[in-house]
Amino acid sequence: MMRSSAVALGFAGLQSTLARGAIAELMGSSGSSGAVGFGPMLKDPDGILDLPKGFSYHIISPMGATMDDGLIVPGKHDGMASFPFMNDDGSVDTGRCIIVRNHEISDAHKVPSPFGSRQERIGLIDPAKIYDTGFGRASRGGCTTVVYNLKTKRVERHWLSLAGTEHNCAGGPTPWGSWISCEESVLVKGERHEKDHGYCFEVPVTQEPMLADPKPIRGMGRMNHEAVCIDPKSGIVYMTEDRHDGLLYRFVPKVPGDLHAGGRLQALHVLGRKSLDTRNWDSPLVKLGEPMTCGWITMDEIDSPLDDLRQRGFDKGAARFARGEGMWWGGEDAGSAYFACTNGGKVGAGQIWRLTPDGMGEGLDTLELFIEPNDPSVLQNADTITFSPWGDLFVCEDGEAPQFLVGVSPDGQLYQFAKNAMNSTEFAGVCFSPDGSTMFVNMQGMGWTLAVTGPWKQ
């Protein structure tokens, strides 16, 4: 499938997309308008990742490798974030960074387990650090942590940092320097599992091998969690739910920064539009750039033993979303939560939304639909997202081949930055190093993290 590399889509409130002919005229023969992006992608001679001129990549911490704790790098690399590396004197080591990375593994996935094919390495760690030991067959999801040298472009050490969880898809970094890992699973304890799943876990960012205490953040509810982002001013946590009829949630903690101290779990509703279906599948109920004032419905029975949290919220008036996935805090004045809905829109190609808190603590926030191409050649099934240091949004695709990593400029133009030239596996977990020199992104099916460098914008 041939794809356009730049198109204005309403990221800053534009009301319509450009026609195909206009796109071609804008791009010219070079395949790039020159106004956004980094120019046309060049064919990778190794057939792995096509990138614009001047960019290169390294494969780091691949699945199957033995880590410094003696365990094995699991497969299905997914959501991740990068954090500063601190020197002993408290200064930032600009030559290194720390990556915390999810692994979206469940029983059905034929990928390496951190504990070995027969769980022969599970004795290397304290059983108390494994959330679900599974009656002798521990859950294989969780997180790994990587110390990466930005100058030598090498992994200095890596280890398992969250153990015994299920299908850890996305999550998000906290303003206080930890990682929230989310289980996209609602499995319950029984013959296979010793504990219920569907929770969020906080993973400390450490510079030496250490396993997190596997303590679920119960106040954030039990559901098919996908991603989180946190308002650094209020400490409120916003959450997506990867269901075709999912909701958008927020967790208002009693103590900002202490998510285990409890709080209120709430679902977003649009004022004056009870139980709004934002998916735009049948008829466009939401227009691009239309600001909608929203409030929040406090949820009960948030442990949801029947997995009906979203249905109960919708019945109370909460808005419905089409597979909420990636989420990141940023944008103009760094004051909004952006999130992707993978199969929203008339043709199910995906949407990107912006939610801006009112700043007054009243909970009357503003929701806008910023991108809904309804054209898979422009954007196909947006998944995890991040903001670049210069303000462009980067979006991982999770659709049919070919898969692209798509950039979005602040004025609403989309461009293709990278192409999976190898197979149809999705991109996931895109993020940037703290100094902005390196983009990290996963090719999930390969179990690879790619470190991409080149002439980034300043």
Taking only the tens place, the pLDDT of each residue in 129-176 is 999 999 999 999 999 999 999 999 999 999 999 999 999 999 999 999
| 68 CB-side CA count, 13 A | 16
Residue 69 maps to a domain: no
Strands (E), 61-165: 77-86, 92-103, 141-149, 154-165
Residue 360's pLDDT is what? 65
Residue 8's pLDDT is what? 35
User: Which of 352, 376, 451, 441 has the alpha carbon at shortest distance from 55?
Assistant: 451
Structure tokens that stand for 312 in this block:
């109960």
Residue 443 maps to a domain: yes
By the 8 A CB rule, do 147 and 157 touch?
yes
Residue 315 maps to a domain: no
Low-confidence ranges of the chain (pLDDT < 70): 1-35, 359-363
Residue 332 and residue 426: Cα distance in Å, rounded? 28
**Domain range for 441:** 1-60+375-458
Residue 96 maps to a domain: no
Residue 16's pLDDT is what? 30
* Cis ω for the linkage preceding 402 (within 30 of 0): yes
Residue 458 maps to a domain: yes
Residue 198 maps to a domain: no
Q: What are the backbone angles phi and psi of residue 314, rounded to the nearest 5°?
A: -65, -40
| 58 CB-side CA count, 13 A | 14
Residue 206 maps to a domain: no
Residue 362's pLDDT is what? 66
By the 8 A CB rule, do 86 and 436 touch?
no
Question: Which residues, at least 6 apart from 39, have a Cβ–Cβ distance to it below 8 Å?
Answer: 30, 31, 32, 52, 53
Instruction: Tell me 22's DSSP state.
Output: H
Taking only the tens place, the pLDDT of each residue in 277-311 is 999 998 889 999 999 999 999 999 999 999 999 99
Structure tokens that stand for 273 in this block:
């539009």
Tell me how many domains the chain contains.
1
The pTM is what? 0.92
Q: Which 3 state secondary structure label does DSSP give 127?
A: helix
Residue 310's pLDDT is what? 98
Q: What are the backbone angles phi and psi of residue 82, rounded to the nearest 5°?
A: -115, 145
Residue 445 maps to a domain: yes
